[in-house]
Amino acid sequence: MKIFDLHLDLEVYFRIPEFLNMRFDDFQRIDFLRHGDIPQFQKSGLKFAVANIFPFYYKNNTWESISYKEFLRLLTRFKDWIFSYDVFKPVMSRNDLINLLKDKNKIGIILGVEGLNFIDSPKRIEHLYKLGIRCFGLNWNIDSVYSTSLKTNKKYGLSKEGIYLIKNLEDLNVVIDLAHSSSFTVKDIFRIYKKQAIFSHNGVKKIVNFEQNLNMETINKIKQKGGLIGLTMLPYSLSKKEKINIDNFKKQYLFLKEIAASNIAIGTDFFGFRFRQEINEGRNYLEFSNYLKKIKADKYFSFYNAFIFLKKKL
Ligand SMILES: [Zn+2]
């Protein structure tokens, strides 16, 4: 089985592993007490992943945005680390995707950001593109000057600067990710952005009532516009209760397969949440890929929908 993962927080693991309850160690070593590593990825058939830079740091009991300058430093450090392993190759174009698909020993890495709070001017977008960023998550859980997040108290989505920023993104071969954006931002994007967006690590609200899970209105709109939903292993997306129920992953998959088969993909969010022993069958990448086999996940869901989408976008 081949896997295309729309959301892996590898930079969080690299920079702040203590937040994840995982030990930082050589990525060539197999360690089932972390969300993944090179041997697990290889055994699982991971072929491409969007690896996100998380542009926040923890200070005085709260998350704060990093500056643009700090972002550039983190990006360089992360690239140096991840590409020091020869198995990972950067994906910056359609051709990179096509060529890497043929090379069965390599894993393609698409660089992304989770939130644009650190961008001090919409004009920075082009610079980030030059540095290899191809997936732009508009928000994490803190509003930016450009758009409101899932946790907002505001009653609007995109600001004036935000609309200008979207116009900058529209001209480039990149992907916009709305995983943590407010319903206002989502509606604004559906209205003004001519291309298709993704929701890289979300679930189905009808099955698990969690804020990051999508309501039917949004799911129908994604279907109509031709976007992607990356079903996630984020514990709260799978269960609101203390005990995580991985069957909710299967339920969400089967539900979406019925109504939007060409819009479903995977966005595990591994390394974006704490390691938890009790997520039986989904503690790490190898267990997750075995679970996909167990639920007979089809190849469009696990790989081709995302591959075809990205091939058109990059
Ligand atoms: Zn996230």
Question: Ligand 1 centroid to 201 CA: how many Å?
Answer: 7
Among the residue ranges 96-110, 237-251, 270-284, 297-311, the one predicted with the least confidence is: 237-251
Q: What is the pLDDT of residues 104-125, one digit of tens each?
A: 899 999 999 999 999 999 999 9
Question: Distance from the CA of 233 to the center of ligand 1, in angstroms?
Answer: 11
Separation of 52 CA from ligand 1 center, angstroms?
A: 9
pLDDT of residue 240: 76
Per-residue confidence (pLDDT) for residue 15, from 0 to 100:
95
Give 254 Cα–ligand 1 centroid separation in angstroms.
23
Place of tokens 């007490």: 33
- Here the tokens at position 34 are 């972390």
Task: Tell me the pLDDT tens digit for each residue of 38-72.
Answer: 999 999 999 999 999 999 999 889 999 999 999 99
Q: How far is the CA of 243 from the centre of ligand 1 (A)?
A: 21
Distance (Å) from CA 186 to ligand 1 centroid? 16
Q: 59: CA distance to ligand 1 center in Å? A: 19
Question: What percentage of the chain carries pLDDT values higher than 70?
Answer: 100
Cα maximum dimension of the chain: 48
Q: How far is the CA of 180 from the centre of ligand 1 (A)?
A: 7
Residue-level pLDDT at 279: 84
Q: Is pTM, for the whole model, over 0.85?
A: yes
**C-alpha 120, offset from chain centre:** 23
% of the chain exceeding 90 in pLDDT: 95
Rounded mean pLDDT, 228-256: 92
Residues 6 or more apart in contact with residue 171 via CB below 8 angstroms? none
- Quickly name the fold that domain 3-313 has: TIM Barrel (3.20.20)
CA distances from 101 to 51, 108, 169 (A): 17, 8, 26
**Residue 102 CA, ligand 1 centroid: distance in Å:** 30
Comparing 4-18, 91-105, 235-249, which segment has the lowest mean pLDDT?
235-249
Is a pLDDT exceeding 70 seen at residue 242? no
Strand partners, 62: 59
The residue among 140, 179, 139 whose CA lies nearest residue 158 is 139
Nearest to 204, CA basis, from 232, 181, 182, 246: 232
Separation of 112 CA from ligand 1 center, angstroms? 12
Q: Which residues contact 152 (CB under 8 A, 6 or more apart)?
A: 143, 182, 184
Tokens at 224, concatenated: 């109509």
Instruction: Kindly tell me if the per-residue pLDDT of 132 is higher than 70.
Output: yes
DSSP letters for 58-123: EETTEEEEPPHHHHHHHHHHHHHHHTTSTTEEE--SHHHHHHHHH-TT-EEEEEEEE--TT-SSTT
* Ramachandran quadrant class, 61 (left: phi over 0; alpha: psi -120 to 50; beta: rest): left
Going from the C-alpha of 68 to that of each of 40, 141, 219, the distances in angstroms are 33, 18, 33
The reported pLDDT for the residue numbered 98 is 97
pLDDT at 243 over 90: no
d(CA 198, CA 182): 14
